[in-house]
Each structure stands twice: as structure tokens, then as C-alpha cells.
């Protein structure tokens, strides 16, 4: 099961997850190019140096996808995530931040 509240995600551990999003720059939709890099990182806390999950997101689909194996071994509870875009000119922009709660299987 997956439920999305704004940028917060409730996900049953080990389930599949897929969600498309848009990128806006000052209210205007930004269309990423092949030279841009978009990365999702999941951590226990924002201050952690290493991410538990790192996924590159395709610039054409702008779809975050998590496979069952990505979360299957993680402990239940709350995690933080962000999605960053590095543009062709080297600019780094955090475009989404949120909480991902891994719930027990029922």
C-alpha cells in the first residue's frame, strides 16, 4: 500500500512505489534535459552522511520508482528523503523534501 500526503509518503515495507512529479522554477514548469541529473536519496536523518537508498530518476519521465528490494530490509519507521536536480550548468537544487514512513505488512 502507498499513500501520499503532499511530500510525505506512507509505504508498506517491501511494496512497490511509483510516483511522477513536476519540477518548477519560481512557479514556472522546468523541463529537465539529458544534461541534468535528478537523484532521490533516503536517509534516517538529514544529517546522515550516507544515504540508505539512492536512485537516479529519468529526466524524461520524472518518475520516482522504488522496488520491493529497496525497502524490504529496512526497519519500520520514519525516514527523510529529498530529490535534487543538478542542472547542466552545475547548479544544485533540492526540489522535494519529505518523510517516508515504512509501515508493517498486514
The sheet with strand 53-57 has its strands ordered as: 2-5, 8-12, 92-103, 77-86, 37-43, 53-57
65/56 Cα distance (integer angstroms): 10
Domains along the sequence of the chain with CATH: 2-103 (2.60.40.10)
pLDDT digits (tens, 9 = 90+) for 48-97: 999 999 999 999 999 999 999 999 999 999 999 999 999 999 999 998 99
pLDDT digits (tens, 9 = 90+) for 39-56: 999 999 989 999 999 999
**Stretch 27-43: mean pLDDT:** 94
84: closest CA among 49, 8, 32?
32
Does pLDDT of 22 surpass 80? yes
Read off the pLDDT band of 2 (50, 70, 90).
Answer: very low
3-class SS at 91?
coil
Question: Does pTM surpass 0.85?
Answer: yes
Amino acid at each position: 500500500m502507498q499513500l501520499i500526503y503532499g511530500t510525505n509518503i506512507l509505504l508498506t515495507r517491501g511494496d512497490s512505489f511509483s510516483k511522477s512529479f513536476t519540477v518548477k522554477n519560481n512557479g514556472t514548469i522546468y523541463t529537465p534535459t539529458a544534461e541534468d541529473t535528478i537523484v532521490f536519496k533516503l536517509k534516517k536523518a538529514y544529517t546522515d552522511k550516507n544515504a540508505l537508498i539512492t536512485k537516479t530518476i529519468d529526466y524524461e519521465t520524472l518518475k520516482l520508482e522504488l522496488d520491493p528490494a529497496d525497502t524490504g530490509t529496512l526497519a519500520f519507521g520514519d525516514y527523510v528523503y529529498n530529490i535534487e536536480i543538478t542542472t547542466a550548468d552545475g547548479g544544485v537544487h533540492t526540489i522535494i523534501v519529505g518523510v517516508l514512513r515504512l509501515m508493517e505488512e498486514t
